[in-house]
Amino acid sequence: MQTRKAIFAGDWYPGDAAGCEREIKTFLEEGRQRPDGDRSFIGGIVPHAGWYFSGSIACNVLHWLQDAEPVDVVVIFGMHLHSGSPSYIMAEGAWETPFGPIEIEQTMAGELAEEFSFRIETTDNFTQDNTIELQLPFVKYFFKDAKLVPMGVPPARKSLEIGKAVADIATRLGRRVKVIGSTDLTHYGNNYGFVVKGTGPAAVDWVRDENDRRVIDAMLAMDPDSVISEALEHQNACCGGAAAAAIAAAKQLGAQKAQSIAYATSYDKSPGDSFVGYVGIVF
């Protein structure tokens, strides 16, 4: 089977299984408190910075998606796209991880590619983008036998229809799925050309308490339209379409409540005038 190479392994996260497992075990120690309630979770929102900055949050979201029933497919929405960008999908082959390759769920991916207009990525012709790959070692670790449907979706209404179709196709095919939206939050500072509140502690507080809070509240309300509008109007989610599509899919699969399990910024580990926000949500 043709396999897509892991581009960011050994740089943004460890390049071997032993190194990944060591970090995952540390992350799990950091996130031992279970989210409220005794329910199973259908999906979640994860950040996608290098593991040093946000790996703990993403790891624990994936961890809390585990339950007693086996998972057939993990669907991940991601990619840094604009509202007018096309959608992307990898429809066959496998994707390399340090724990071994994850096979693409060709039936689901194929039906989606027939129903919507996608640019098809292959194992040797693809956009180098970290948003999906950074999650794959966690997927392989927690859902060893699950297959993958990876998609890039823009912050546009069509992405919500793709999310709903994921749920409908999975239900019709009898696939048990988990859905993930990969996005970081506000990218603030001169490095990102976004300096509306100056620099220093007041700017950090504004990002944490106001700008990120706006889009997090929309995510927790499970309002995908508001997630997209927030991302477009306030620059508080770099992949608002991915988060919105995951919420739309999860709601179609029966999710009714969302909960934040962690929030942080890169400033927490590397203080400076340019920094990024991260949230982990389960629903």
Residues of the chain where predicted confidence (pLDDT) is lower than 70: none
The residue written with tokens 């998609």 in the block is 151
pLDDT of residue 32: 79
**Residue 160 C-beta-side C-alpha neighbours within 13 Å:** 16
Cα dihedral 118, 240, 46, 186 in deg (nearest 10): 140
Q: Which amino acid is at 219?
A: M
Nearest to 139 by CA among 102, 167, 107, 90: 102
Nearest to 45 by CA among 163, 206, 128, 195: 163
pLDDT of residue 280: 98
Between CA 159 and CA 91 the distance in angstroms is 17
Q: Which residues, in sequence order, are bridge partners of residue 44?
A: 180, 282
Between CA 200 and CA 188 the distance in angstroms is 11
Q: What are the tens digits of pLDDT across the range 214-252?
A: 999 999 999 999 999 999 999 999 999 999 999 999 999
Nearest to 44 by CA among 275, 200, 247: 247
* Parallel/antiparallel/unpaired status of strands 94-95 and 259-265: unpaired
3-state SS, residue 270: coil
pLDDT of residue 39: 83
Q: At what angle do helices 157-173 and 240-252 cross, to 10 degrees?
A: 40
Q: At what angle do helices 240-252 and 212-220 cross, to 10 degrees?
A: 20
Q: 3-state DSSP: the chain helix, strand, coil percent, rounded to 5? A: 40, 20, 40
Residues in the chain: 283
pLDDT of residue 35: 85
Report if pTM > 0.95: yes
